[in-house]
Chain A
Amino acid sequence: MNEERFFYIKLKTPLSIWQITGLLSWILIKLTLIASMIHQSAGEFIYAGF
């Protein structure tokens, strides 16, 4: 089995402190956007219950 495909996210080198800070900020921005939008949505997926 291709282990990388399923269990590991490719990390050629460990993330630098700047990459970690950038990624963490991007995750927080996304979470803020999601929190601001989530009340407007019924949250149903087109393929749900398919």
Chain B
Amino acid sequence: MTFINPTFWIVAVVVYILLSIETSHKASLRFGFINLFALNLLLGWQIALGALLGVTLFWGMVSLGLQYGAQKNQNKSLVGFSILAGVTVVFIFHKLNLQHSPWIETLQALAPWMRSDFFLTFLAGLSFSYIFVRCADALHCVFWKNCPLMGPLSLFGYLLPFHMLLSGPVNAYEEHLEMDRDAEPESVPSLDRVLLILNAITTGLLYKFVVAESLRTYFYGANGEMTVSNWGDSAILALYVFFDFAGYSRVARGLGLLYRVPTPENFSAPFLSVSVTDFWTRWHMSMGQFVRRNLFTPIQLNLVRAVGIKNAGWVSLVTMVVSFGFVGLWHRISWTWILWGVAMGLLMALEKHVQTFAMRKGWNRSPWIGHALPWLGPVYTNTVLIISVRFVAEEIF
């Protein structure tokens, strides 16, 4: 299921037409149902119904957990963590990439009923890493922020939206819930709106199929594989990943705007960032917002409550390292990615200390720094980016 496939675009148009039909049902339910139809056409009915079954099981567990939590309020967090732990086990199973491992043969011999060979391919086909973070976001909202639990079909539309299935962005549960509170859209969209949506989609396609692929074919040949053996390769790979991922995200965003399904922005000129901290608010933004909502802010608040505001500096350091350690592990469960995440966390904590120190000294008011930062900042950030890409390059593909 890629954007090069004409079937995808036929399905995309059919989904738009079906969503335009006025009914009395909630927008999230309507999208959930039509999304099931779209996945059925794109991935086949076995995968679509298998995914719906998985989502219904998840919904059932959350629903039961909420009822149990309502009876014994103190156990609500425990129930939430237990369901999250269950989903995390599936995520780890998926990330360990065991399809080709001898371990999977042992597991199949021990428990043939599990059909682990089919299960792992199924999870990879659905890009389970993104579904996992959406599940975590939903659990956080429902168990800790008292958001209502949407029905199984609406939840299906949130967890597996066909236009964001391949590689995100990470949409927020609360924002998906808000779909139902919006007024009915205009039956015929204005020409301006259609043009701007078409502009977003075609720019995304241009990024991927013209810019990213031209970079690849120019440097590595039409059938050449991208390899990283020097710093130049590392810079090319960073550029390639940007145009590949930002292109994909822009197409998904355009379709989200067309369907009126919350689809967040994912990139905002990241190579112009003046610091690594700034960079992570501009690159894979939806993931950064997920980490802030679900890890950084809750961990920081609870730690400050536990150890006191006097230790806020240490709390900030620990929170940064834990949050980015997770981002590293989310990419791949390996020492390289853990070290990458920890290093990013430490670097951002250091940047925060430097910023605080500079503000205390009044350097932020210096006109020289004001002029130099927009030029020197990106040089520093892109140097860090190139070093970090070289570090993890072996494990990107």
Contacts and interface: CB of A to CB of B under 8 A. Distances in A.
Q: Do A and B bind each other?
A: yes
Given A6-B263, A20-B191, A50 B129 contact: yes
B2 interface: yes
Contact of A23 (B195, B205, B206, B396): B195
Contacts of A40: 213, 217, 222
A38 B181 CA distance: 40
Contact of B167 (A14, A15, A26, A50): A50
Interface of B: 2-5, 124-125, 127, 129-130, 166-168, 174-175, 178, 181-182, 185, 190-193, 195-200, 202-203, 205-206, 208-210, 213-214, 217, 222, 240-241, 244-245, 248, 256-257, 260, 262-265, 396-397
A3 B182 CA distance: 9
Interface in A2-18: 3, 5-9, 11, 14-15
B244 A9 contact: no
Contacts of A6: 175, 256-257, 260, 262-264
B206 A33 contact: yes
Nearest to A38: B209
Nearest to B249: A47
B263 A30 contact: no
B209 A27 contact: no
A27 B195 contact: yes
Interface residues of A, number: 32
A48 B167 contact: yes
20 contacts: A7-B182, A7-B257, A9-B196, A9-B197, A23-B196, A23-B199, A30-B210, A34-B202, A37-B209, A37-B214, A40-B217, A41-B208, A41-B209, A44-B2, A45-B244, A45-B245, A46-B241, A46-B396, A47-B168, A50-B129
**Most B CB within 10 A of own CB, among A6, A15, A48:** A6
B244 A15 contact: no
Given A40-B213, A41-B4, A43-B3, A49 B168 contact: no
A11 B213 contact: no
Given A14-B192, A24-B195, A34-B202, A47 B245 contact: yes
A10 B125 CA distance: 35
Nearest to A26: B199
Contacts of A45: 2, 166-167, 208, 244-245, 248
A24 B175 CA distance: 32
Given A11-B193, A20-B191, A27-B195, A48 B263 contact: no
Contacts of B214: 37
Given A3-B182, A46-B244, A20 B217 contact: no
A49 B260 CA distance: 25
Contacts of A49: 124-125, 127, 166
Contacts of B265: 5
A16 to B, nearest CB: 10
A3 B167 CA distance: 24
A49 B2 CA distance: 11
A23 to B, nearest CB: 5
B176 to A, nearest CB: 10
Contact of A11 (B185, B192, B203, B208): B192
A34 B182 contact: no
Contact of B260 (A7, A26, A34, A46): A7
B262 A30 contact: no
B191 to A, nearest CB: 7
Nearest to B124: A49
Nearest to B248: A45
B121 to A, nearest CB: 10
Contacts of A50: 127, 129-130, 167
Given A1-B178, A6-B175, 11 more contacts: A6-B263, A7-B185, A27-B202, A30-B206, A34-B205, A38-B209, A40-B217, A46-B240, A46-B241, A47-B127, A47-B245
